[in-house]
Each structure stands twice: as structure tokens, then as C-alpha cells.
Amino acid sequence: MIKLINNSKRDFCLLNLTDPQLKAGEWDNENKVGAVFKKTVETLVERLSPDLITLSGDLSYAGDIESYKNFADYFDALKIPWTCTFGNHDNQDGDGPVKAVIDEYEKHEFFVFERCDSALGNSNFAILIEKNGKNAEGVILMDTHDRVPYKTDECGKNLAWAGLSSAQLTWYAERVAELKDAGCNDSTLIIHIPINAYLAAARAAFKSPKPDKSVTLGDTYGAGIWNAGYENSYGVFHEPISAYPEDEGAFALIKKLGSTKNIVCGHNHVNNWVVNYEGVRFIFGTKTGTGSYFEPEINGGTVLTVNENGVSAVRHEYVDISSFL
Ligand SMILES: [Fe+2]
């Protein structure tokens, strides 16, 4: 397991970015998509001075190695530890392109990564944050693959978004045990595709548990749209949750082991709700930049602050890009 040691007086700042989906040509300084992305990252870095930047998948599109290289050069130049787990677009052409990206990224000084058994996906690894001498928080990144064969629906579709496999859940339990052995009883799971229990979390928290584009970001920071007991939730629900359609057992295991208190996912660009459901914070990370589909208001990243006792707070940080659009 990788260890990050932090002895700063202030809380450790983990900044999660997600779903930039930048193509090689968009890194050009003249390109608006690239300019918005860079402006967003630079604003967040200046505002927050993060101690670790995580990318929760869909950096680019498999095979666009130039774009992936641009990511590595760009983030390494910030001189801040950075890492990623891969999303469906990173994985869409199988192992080969992903392994080429890892080969490239490992040449970069600030890239934090540990290779794993690729039968489980190529981006399963864990980071232990030591805060002022205490093993405070485990950050477990897991690979949620792309799509998997699934029963044919009424539209003739026979693929579903992948979930975490049972072999991955075994791997997860081993990492939690390793963290507990190190005296660390808290962890955050960072994935790309939401686990199935996001559906249950939405049903529990929202008065109207369906996507609703008429609910603005501002509305979500009030109590009005939330069921009793969930009034401290926030964030928009503007598109259906793209999870594996059946319960893969991840949440039951998470609850049984009692380590993971926060789950961060990406994948749905215009959902960024944060709901505490049955003792676990379900977080849709705020999308970073305008690659692929986006909403101008929902641009930025998500911050988890960590003190000696684990994650102390979670919030979204927004960057105004109206002048670019
Ligand atoms: Fe995705």
C-alpha cells in the first residue's frame, strides 16, 4: 500500500476531479475545451493548495495516447501528488491502451500508483494518508471497467454498465483489513461508475427520486427537495444514475466491514448530489471542464478534508466558466 505522509497544521486536502474527457486536439491553447479545463484546474489549485489530486476516471478516450500524455505532463508540472482510476472511456478498448497509459504515467515524478492484478482491472490500489503521525484515512481506488454483457432489454440493448466484480470485492476486503492492521479505521472509495446502492441512496433522500432538471443547484442547498433526515444533502440530480442494474453486493460488504464512510464516483456528468445514506456518504463528484456533455454551473471538483481522525468534511468547489462559453 502506498503511504502519503502529511505533517501540515492544516487539514489534508484531497481534490477530486472527474470526467474531463479531453481529446488530444483539445489541449491546444487555442481550444476552448482545453482552456476551460486548465482554467478550472488552475483556479482550484490556487484556491485550495491540494495535497493530493485524484481523477475519478474518463480522462480521455482509449487510444488517444497524446491526450493521456498531456494529462501526465500537465499534472506533474503542478508538483502535487496526483493519481487516477480509470473509467469506461479509458477502458473501452481493453487492456492494451490502459497499460500503455500506465507505462507513460509511471515515468512521472508526482504520479501516485500501484500496479495490480489486471484480471481485476488496471486501477485498483490504495493509499494510506498518515496525518500528524496517525494513520488517518485510506483512499481505495477501484476500476469499474466499461460495459458488460447483460440481458436484452425491450430496446434490444444487451449491455450494462459494469459493477465491481466479486473478485474485486474480495480484494477490497483485503485492503480494508490491511488498513485496520495499520490502525486506520476510515476509508474513502473512489470509483468511476457508481455502485448499485446509489439508486437506493437517491430513493431514500430525494422527495422526488427521479432526475429533475428544473431543480437548480441553488435549490439543492436548501432543505426543500430532501426527505426528512436527509436535509444536509446537496447537489443536483439531472440525469438517471448509470450504475450496474443489479445489486453487486458492494454496499452490504462496505457496511459489514465498517471502514468506508465516503464513496466518490463520476460517470454521470450532471449529477453531483451528496447524500449520507445508512452511515456512508454517497458522492457524485463535480465534473471538471466541458469535455463531452456538461452543464456550465456544475463545473469544478470535490474536496475531502482529512484530519487525524479521517475525513472531516466534503464539499464541492465550483469554478465559474461563463466568460469562456
Ligand atoms: Fe464514464
Å from CA of 132 to ligand 1 middle: 36
Å from CA of 56 to ligand 1 middle: 9
Predicted TM-score (pTM) above 0.95: yes
Q: What is the pLDDT of residues 293-318, one digit of tens each?
A: 999 999 999 999 999 999 999 999 99
Q: What is the pLDDT of residues 5-33, one digit of tens each?
A: 999 999 999 999 999 999 999 999 889 99
Structural domain spans, the chain = 2-324
Statement: residue 155 has pLDDT above 90: no
Å from CA of 183 to ligand 1 middle: 34
The 3 state secondary structure assigned to the chain is: CEEEEECCCCCEEEEEEECCCCCHHHHCCCCHHHHHHHHHHHHHHHHHCCCEEEEECCCCCCCCHHHHHHHHHHHHHCCCCEEEECCHHHHCCCHHHHHHHHHHHCCCCCECCCCCCHHHCCCCEEEEEEECCEEEEEEEECCCCCEEECCCCCCCCCEEECCCCHHHHHHHHHHHHHHHHCCCCCEEEECCCCCCHHHHHHHHHECCCCCCCCCCHHHHCCCCCECCCCCCCECCECCCCCCCCCCCCHHHHHHHHCCEEEEEECCCCCECCEEEECCEEEEECCECCCCCCCCCCCCEEEEEEEECCEEEEEEEEECCCHHHC
What is the structure's pLDDT at 305?
98
Å from CA of 266 to ligand 1 middle: 7
Å from CA of 306 to ligand 1 middle: 27
Q: If pLDDT is split at 50, 70 and 90, which confidence band does 123 have? A: very high
CATH node for 2-324: 3.60.21.10
Q: What is the pLDDT of residues 266-282, one digit of tens each?
A: 999 999 999 999 999 99
